[in-house]
Amino acid sequence: SPWKPLLLLLSPPAFSTTCARCAEDRRLRRKRAISERQLTRYFVDQRKVRVVGGQGGGGSHSFYSEPRKVFGGPDGGNGGDGGHVILKADQQMKSLSSVFPFYQGFHGERGGRKNCYGANGAHMYVKVPVGTLVKEDGKVVADLTQHGEEYVAAYGGAGGKGNRFFLSNENRAPKLFTPGEPGQERVLHLELKTTAHAGLVGFPNAGKSSLLRAISRAKPAVAAYPFTTLNPHVGIVHYQDYEQVAVADIPGLIKGAHQNHGLGMAFLKHIERCRFLLYVVDLSVPQPWIQLQDLKCELEAYEKGLSERPCVVIGNKTDLAQSRINLPLLREQVAERVIALSALTGDNLEELLLHLRELYDTYVKTEQSQGQSPVKW
C-alpha cells in the first residue's frame, strides 16, 4: 500500500542504537568494588589443612579354575595404590580462600581374579597461589615460588598383595593376601607471602592506598583514620611495551611491628618477596625523615638485610603547604633518591612510573644474568 513506507518510518525499530537503555546494556560491566571488611572474607593468607592420602586397594584371594584344569593355582591380583594429595602453585590463584580444611586422595581399587591388578587411585590436586609457604610443626617443608611447581603433601598407601604374590615352591596354594595400606596423614599450615615486584612501605595514613589507586586499577579502601588497609593489595602498573609491574600495598607499620605491635608480623612477611621497596613518607608531618629511619629499623629487626634492598623514597602529600617546606629538609637528611608527588592530585606521578620501570628493568637483568627467570605478571 502507499502508506507502508510511512509506517516503517514511524514504527520504532526492534533494536535502537541510540536508546539510553540499550546503551547501558552494551556498556561493559565493571567489577564491583569490594570494601575492606568484605575483602577479609575473600583474601586469606593463612590456612590450616589436614591432608590424607588415598588408601591402597586390597589384594585379591582367588584360585584359577576351569574345565579340565581344576587346580590352576592362585590368580589373585594386587590392589592399586592410593592417590596422592599434591599442592600445585597456580598464578591465577591470588588467595587461600578457596582452599578447604580437609583433602583426601582417591582410594585404589581392589585386585581382581585372573591376576588382574586394581587401578591406582587418582591424585588430588590442590591449587594454591604462587608464593605459598608450607609448614609442618613450625618447620618449612616447601616453598612454592614458581608457576606449576608441585609438592606432594600426602602420599597414598601402597596396594595390598594378592595370593598370587605369595606363590612359591614350598607353598603352591597360598591363601594369604594383604589389605591395602592407609595413606599418609599430615596437618599442614599454608602461609601466603604476596609475590610482587615492588612493595609500598609506610606508616598508617601515609597515603599508600591512595598512591596505589592512582598508578593502577586496584581499589583499596581509603579513609582518614589509621589502619584502613587490613589486607595486602596488589596493583598492576601497565606500560606501553606490555610489561607489567606488580606493586603491593602493605598495611601500615608502626614502631615495634617486629614485636607484633599494631598489625604485627602478620604482614611483614609480605615484604619479604618484594624485589624492591617504595618507602612512602608523609611530608606534612614534622621531621618526615624520622619515619624513614623507623621503617628501616623495623624491617632490619624483622629480617637482616631487608632494608638494604633497592628502594626509592616517595614524599607524598605535596599538595599541602607544610609539605613544600619539609621537602628540601628531607632531601638533605636522606641519601636515597626522593620523589615528591601528590597521590590525591596526581602531581608528578610520571617521575615515579619512570623510576619504577628502571628498578624493574634492573631486577630483570640481574635475574637473567644469574640464570634465573624473573617473576612475570
Q: 213 is written with which cell numbers?
A: 589507586
Q: d(Cα 288, Cα 315) in Å, to the nearest integer?
A: 9
Segment among 20-29, 70-79, 228-237, 301-310 with least mean pLDDT: 20-29
Segment among 4-8, 115-119, 296-300, 308-312 with least mean pLDDT: 4-8
52 band by pLDDT with thresholds 50, 70 and 90: very high
**Strand 85-90 to 46-52 pairing:** unpaired
Superfamily of domain 43-193: GTP1/OBG domain (2.70.210.12)
Q: What is the pLDDT of residue 334?
A: 87
277: closest CA among 222, 347, 202, 331? 202
- SS3 track for the chain: CCCHHHHHHHCCCCCCCCCHHHHHHHCCCCCCCCCHHHHHHHCCCEEEEEEECCCCCCCCCCECCECCECCCCECCCCCCCCCCEEEEEECCCCCCCCCCCEEECCCCCCCCCCCCCCCCCCCEEEEEECCEEEEECCEEEEEECCCCCEEEEECCCCCCCCHHHHCCCCCCCCCCCCCCCCCCEEEEEEEECCCCCEEEEECCCCCHHHHHHHHCCCCCCCCCCCCCCCCCEEEEEECCCCCEEEEEECCCCCCCHHHCCCCHHHCHHHHCCCCEEEEEEECCCCCCHHHHHHHHHHHHHHCCCHHHCCEEEEEECCCCHHHHHHHHHHHHHCCCCEEECECCCCECHHHHHHHHHHHHHHHHHHHHHCCCCCCCC
Domain boundaries along the sequence of the chain: 43-193, 198-370
Count Cα atoms within 13 angstroms, Cβ side, for 44: 14
Q: Report yes or no: 341 and 353 within 8 Å, Cβ to Cβ.
A: no
Across-strand partners of 279?
201, 313
35 band by pLDDT with thresholds 50, 70 and 90: low
Q: What is the pLDDT of residue 12?
A: 44
- SS3 track for 188-229: EEEEECCCCCEEEEECCCCCHHHHHHHHCCCCCCCCCCCCCC
198: closest CA among 279, 287, 124, 94? 279
Whether pLDDT at 21 is above 70: no
Nearest-5° angle of CA 337, CA 343, CA 344? 150
Pick the more confident residue, 252 or 313. 313
Q: What is the pLDDT of residue 191?
A: 85
Amino acid, res. 321:
A
Cα-only R_g, the chain: 31
Q: d(Cα 314, Cα 338) in Å, to the nearest integer?
A: 6
Pick the more confident residue, 177 or 40. 177
Pick the more confident residue, 80 or 41. 80
pLDDT tens track for 265-305: 556 777 877 888 999 988 888 888 888 888 888 888 888 88
Whether 43-193 and 198-370 share one fold: the answer is no
Segment among 84-98, 196-210, 244-258, 312-326 with least mean pLDDT: 244-258
4 band by pLDDT with thresholds 50, 70 and 90: very low
pLDDT tens track for 74-102: 888 999 999 999 999 998 887 788 899 99
**Strand 132-136 to 139-144 pairing:** antiparallel
Provide mean pLDDT across the span 158-176: 87
Q: Which fold has domain 198-370?
A: Rossmann fold (3.40.50)
Please report, rounded to a whole number, the percentage of residues in the chain having pLDDT higher than 70. Answer: 80
Cβ burial of 311 (10 Å; 0-12, 13-18, 19+) is: buried
Q: What is the pLDDT of residue 3?
A: 46
Tell me the range of 2-16, 122-136, 185-199 where mean pLDDT is highest.
122-136
Q: What is the pLDDT of residue 66?
A: 76
Q: d(Cα 108, Cα 98) in Å, to the nearest integer?
A: 27
Residues whose CB falls within 8 Å of the CB of residue 131, separated by 6 or more in sequence, listed in order: 89, 144, 145, 192, 193, 194, 195, 273
Pick the more confident residue, 231 or 160. 160
45 band by pLDDT with thresholds 50, 70 and 90: confident
pLDDT tens track for 234-264: 788 888 888 888 888 877 565 544 444 445 4
Q: What is the pLDDT of residue 109?
A: 92
Instruction: Please state the pTM of the whole predicted model.
Output: 0.65
Cβ burial of 247 (10 Å; 0-12, 13-18, 19+) is: buried
Average pLDDT of the chain to the nearest whole number: 80
Q: 216 is written with which cell numbers?
A: 593502577
33 band by pLDDT with thresholds 50, 70 and 90: low
Provide mean pLDDT across the span 357-372: 89
Q: What is the pLDDT of residue 291?
A: 84
Q: What is the pLDDT of residue 17?
A: 38
